[in-house]
Structure formats: C-alpha cells, structure tokens
Chains A and B, each alone.
Chain A
Amino acid sequence: MCDAGADKRLLIVPALFDEANRMRRLSVEVMRRLERAGIDSFLVDMPGTNESLQRLETQGCEDWRDAIGAAARHFGTAHVLGIRGGCLFTPTDLTRWHYAPAKGPAILRQMIRARILASREAGTEETSDGLMKIGQAEGIELVGYGLGADFIEAFQSLKPAADAAIHQIGQDTIGGSGLWLRAEPGESREQADALAAVLAIGLQA
C-alpha cells in the first residue's frame, strides 16, 4: 500500500490466480506513480491467496466480495480499480474503474486447460467437462489453486458488471499488448504511465 493520509484513495482489486503474478509489477508501478500524484492506493490480497491467513478452499465468491467491501471501508477508499478478473469483485458503491475485465468462465476455462496440459504431460488424460463436474461436486485443484465447489459454482457464471457508471479502460487506451498474456511476468513503463494517467485524471475530476 501507499498510504500518506491523502484525501484521494484508491483500492486496487488485483488480477486473479496466475494472472495476479503477471500483473503484479504493473500494479505496483501504477501505485508508485499515483503516490507521486498525491493519490494513496491499496492493493489487496484476495482471501486465501498470498499473505491472507484464510484457506482458499473455504472461500466463496460472496466471501471475496465481502472482504473487498471490508477493505474499502477499512482504508476509507471511495474509488476502486479492478484489474482483469478483479473487476468481478469491485464494490458497486465505489467509483469504479475496470481495466481489461475478464469473465469468470474464461478464467476457469484457461486454468482447466492448463491442468489438462500438465496432466497429459504426466500421462493422465482428463477432460474439461470431467474436471468441471468434479469441481462443482467437490472442489478442485487447478494450477496450484485449490478451489471449493461453492466457489466454482458461482465463479463459472460471473461476468463483469456493465453499468454505464463504470469507467472502462481498454488495452487500446493503455497501448501495447496486455501484460497478462505474457508467459513470463513482464513490465512496461509506458503502460504503467498510461494507466496511472487515466486514474490520476479520473480521481482529480
């Protein structure tokens, strides 16, 4: 977090799961730039990930939504930036920016596909439908993330809100190609500059 007691305060809901690693550097670089613009920002860990003391397996989508709402109240943030899958959990009572929002089913599909690939390399055959059924019935481990059945059930139909009040930030505004695509986590000074500029101008308005 960058907390200097500023009036302008932004909560950041990170990209989810594997994408969180690839977007971490950009997120932090944006926070540094916002600090120089006099804006405090707070990058949260989703419950059950990183430094969270919770177990991921016991989390549901509602728990995540509640936790983000609690973080917004705790830090006194009136504004929130969602990044990729993080846009699925931005509180509706805050002024929202959504950067390259991702859909729950698309995120799940990619994780399932990664598991199929890894299993196949190890000589085990699995299918998307089969894994999805297991996930909905008893929860499932996907690329190192143990997800509960309740989470899978809710997450598979989650789509980012499309309210007109949300400030949408597309990759065409930021320039270059999305860093979440990178096989190896990367960084881009230009993209951090662009995203920070969009937010700084928006928060000053």
Chain B
Amino acid sequence: MQDQTDQLLRRILSDVLGLKPSQVDGFDGSTGLFGHLPELDSMAVAGLLTEMEDRLDILIEDDDIDGEMLETFGSLLAFAEAKRAQS
C-alpha cells in the first residue's frame, strides 16, 4: 500500500500543480511544497487536501493540518501513509 500511496499522491500533485507526471516523478522526500511553490496558496492547499481525502479514502481533521506536514513531499507522504494505515 505504501507504493500505491506514493503513486496516488504524485498523481494528485501533478493534477493540482499542472505538472507532467514525469516532472512529479522527480519529486523526492525533500522537495518543497507549501511555502516553496508560489501557486500553493491556502485555497490550493485546501483543494489538495480535499483531493487526498477523496482519492486516498482518508479523513483529514482540522488538527492534522499544519505547516510541517505540508512543507515537503516527504512529510506529506508520511502523513498520507499514516492516515491510510489508520483507516
């Protein structure tokens, strides 16, 4: 399931950022997201989280959302994997 979460998350980011899959395939754990990409404002992040809920079949609570979780691809992936393991 971990590989699947990784792939699903990359696909979501490619849809949200308007990037080609090949570009998103190049993301690694330290690739910066919120605070690093100008197009990722709060509304875009809200959209990203909603897509993650739909496609990863998880529920994200208010308390889950913090800057650290959104800062890099690695931290967002770790969050998504932990949430999927819970559900």
Which residues in A have some Cβ–Cβ distance to B below 8 Å? 18, 106, 109-111, 113-118, 120-121, 127-128, 143, 177-178, 180-184, 186
- Is B85 at the interface (CB under 8 A from chain A)? no
Q: At the interface, is chain B mostly helix, strand, loop or mixed?
A: helix
- In the assembled complex, the Cα of A183 lies from the Cα of B46 at a distance in Å of 10
Per-residue contact bits, chain B 33-71, to A (CB 8 Å; 1 contact, 0 not): 000010111111111111100000000001001110000
Q: Are the CB atoms of B50 and A183 closer together than 8 Å?
A: no
Residues of A within 8 A of B45 (CB): 114, 117
Residues of A within 8 A of B17 (CB): 182-184
Q: Are the CB atoms of B40 and A117 closer together than 8 Å?
A: no
Checking A109, A120, A183 against B44 with a beta-carbon cut-off of 8 angstroms, the contacting residue is A183
Q: Are the CB atoms of B67 and A121 closer together than 8 Å?
A: yes
Q: Which residue of A lies closest to B13 (CB)?
A: A183
Checking A110, A116, A127 against B47 with a beta-carbon cut-off of 8 angstroms, the contacting residue is A110
Q: Are the CB atoms of A114 and B51 closer together than 8 Å?
A: no
- Is B18 at the interface (CB under 8 A from chain A)? yes
- In the assembled complex, the Cα of A166 lies from the Cα of B87 at a distance in Å of 35
Checking B40, B62, B66, B67 against A183 with a beta-carbon cut-off of 8 angstroms, the contacting residue is B40
Q: Are the CB atoms of A114 and B16 closer together than 8 Å?
A: no
Residues of B within 8 A of A183 (CB): 16-18, 37, 39-41, 44, 47-48
With known contacts A113-B50, A114-B45, A117-B42, A178–B15 Cβ distance under 8 A: yes
The 9 closest A-B pairs by CB, nearest first: A183-B44, A114-B46, A177-B15, A183-B39, A117-B42, A113-B46, A184-B39, A118-B42, A114-B43
Q: Which residue of A lies closest to B14 (CB)?
A: A177
Residues of A within 8 A of B47 (CB): 110, 180-181, 183
Residues of A within 8 A of B40 (CB): 183
Interface CB pairs A-B, < 8 A, 17: A106-B50, A110-B43, A111-B43, A114-B45, A115-B42, A117-B42, A117-B46, A120-B65, A120-B67, A128-B62, A181-B15, A182-B15, A182-B17, A183-B44, A183-B47, A184-B17, A184-B18
Residues of B within 8 A of A115 (CB): 42
Checking B37, B39, B46 against A110 with a beta-carbon cut-off of 8 angstroms, the contacting residue is B46
- In the assembled complex, the Cα of A105 lies from the Cα of B1 at a distance in Å of 30
- In the assembled complex, the Cα of A177 lies from the Cα of B51 at a distance in Å of 12
B2 to chain A, nearest CB (A): 23
Residues of A within 8 A of B48 (CB): 183
Residues of B within 8 A of A110 (CB): 43, 46-47, 50
B17 to chain A, nearest CB (A): 6
